[in-house]
Amino acid sequence: MDMRTCEAELALVNRDFGDRHWQTRGVHLERYAQIKAQLGLKSGLRDTRKALIGAYFCHEYSYAGAALTNPSITPHPDQTGLVGGAVRIVLSMRAVGEGHISSIAFREGIVTPDGELHLLPEPRIAMAAHVCDPPPEGIPEGPVCATRYAEASLSGTVIFPFTQAQRNGLEDLRLVRFMTQGEDPVWYGTYTAYSGLAIASEMLVTRDFRTFDLLPMSGTAARNKGMALFPRKVGGQYAMIGRQDGENIWFLRSADVLDWNDGEMIVSPRFPWELVQMGNCGAPMEIDEGWLLLTHGVGAMRKYAIGAVLLDRDDPTKVLGRTATPLISPSDENREGYVPNVVYTCGALIIGRRLVIPYGVADSSIAFCSMDIDALVSELV
């Protein structure tokens, strides 16, 4: 193209998309740099040509156009300015777009001690987190450091797949605030990386929800879905809930937070609503009575429901009680959607003696409920 045509085409692109995104020109130039490295293009082009070339290799993507589901909830790093026992929270969600590609989205909010939730307004524009130091070839193999743009709030940030192992999705993030005595908290999040052919467990690590490390995990247990980290060490080691065999709930220990092997089966399907398979619904939560673990059970017609198990605080392989009937189950009003007959959560939050649970409804929306822990414990058998 001659320069006049280039300028006209770029002006058209900017007119169509400039108000729909932040940093449009910067994104186009960044995309050009990737294409230049991959194709060996010559240097010396004007920025107009670079930006237009980058635009030809970009497209808009509706990251939650197909589904929004499987939330987890954790305390926000910033708890300043709150009164009356309220807690500022980070909500993570699995967003599914075209091609069934899953990404991680966030919302911020505040939860009161009585379980009332106030979400911050959703920003008009969302921005994808970007690689801290992108390699010349454009596609890192992992591990990856990603960061959100300074202009983007956490509620307006989306983490898309970066590596070949993740290219078809980052699924079911289970966030937990991990505490070590005398140290600042760190947030861990186990998730499933899906390449389109294989799955693997990986770990998101952050201290501020501005920079994120996405780290592959190793060991025999990391080849499975649904791993959830305890919020502190147990007996001097990291502890994890897993589902090695796709049917039962397992307890694992490790000296390395990224390497997991073997384990001990601690909970098996027992009641009709969970006979097909069981799994965890997020990290165990410490209460006076022990470790409270939300579970999912799959019953007839592959209906997913949410229950709970209570584990011993000192020896989590000991099961002290479990729910004989589901806490949350699909109803006639909320069973239809992208994946029908499913309610599912990837993590809840305890405030005082109240349990707050965000949960996906038929992979099409997210609902919230809260319940009294004393009442819940009384139902365990």
Domain C-terminal end among 56, 76, 93: 56
Residue 136's pLDDT band (cuts 50, 70, 90): low
pLDDT at 148: 92
Task: Look at residue 83 and tell me if it is in a domain.
Answer: yes
Of 54, 58, 95, 78, give the one whose Cα is nearest residue 153. 78
Pairing status of strand 157-159 against strand 319-322: unpaired
pLDDT at 38: 84
pLDDT at 52: 96
Domain containing residue 344: 67-379
Burial per residue of 106-143, b for 16 or more beta-carbon CB atoms within 10 angstroms, e otherwise: bbbbebbeebebeeeeeeeebbbbbeeebeeeeebeee
Residue pair 309/246 in contact by the 8 Å Cβ criterion:
no
Query: What percentage of residues in the chain have a pLDDT greater than 90?
Result: 79
Q: What is the pLDDT of residues 154-212, one digit of tens each?
A: 999 999 999 999 999 999 999 999 999 999 999 999 999 999 999 999 999 999 999 99
Residues 35 and 79 in one domain: no
Residue 135's pLDDT band (cuts 50, 70, 90): low
Residues 32 and 114 in one domain: no
- Measure the CA–CA gap between 207 and 242, rounded to whole angstroms: 24
- Asked if the model's pLDDT at residue 124 lies above 90, the reply is no
Residues 49 and 91 in one domain: no
- Asked if the model's pLDDT at residue 42 lies above 90, the reply is no
Residues 155 and 42 in one domain: no
Residues 135 and 213 in one domain: yes
Residues 129 and 151 in one domain: yes
pLDDT at 331: 82
Query: What percentage of residues in the chain have a pLDDT greater than 70?
Result: 98
Which of 6-20, 137-151, 324-338 has maximum average pLDDT?
6-20
Residue pair 177/189 in contact by the 8 Å Cβ criterion:
no
Kindly report whether the peptide bond that precedes residue 143 is cis, defined as omega within 30 degrees of 0.
yes
The overall average pLDDT reported for the chain is 93
pLDDT at 335: 81
- Measure the CA–CA gap between 44 and 29, rounded to whole angstroms: 14
The pLDDT of 49-71, averaged and rounded, is: 93
Pairing status of strand 127-128 against strand 157-159: parallel
pLDDT at 334: 75
pTM of the predicted structure, to 2 decimals: 0.92
- Measure the CA–CA gap between 372 and 114, rounded to whole angstroms: 9
- Measure the CA–CA gap between 378 and 358, rounded to whole angstroms: 22
Task: Look at residue 61 and tell me if it is in a domain.
Answer: no
Residue bearing tokens 């998730």: 191
Total tally of structural domains belonging to the chain: 2
The pLDDT of 14-36, averaged and rounded, is: 88
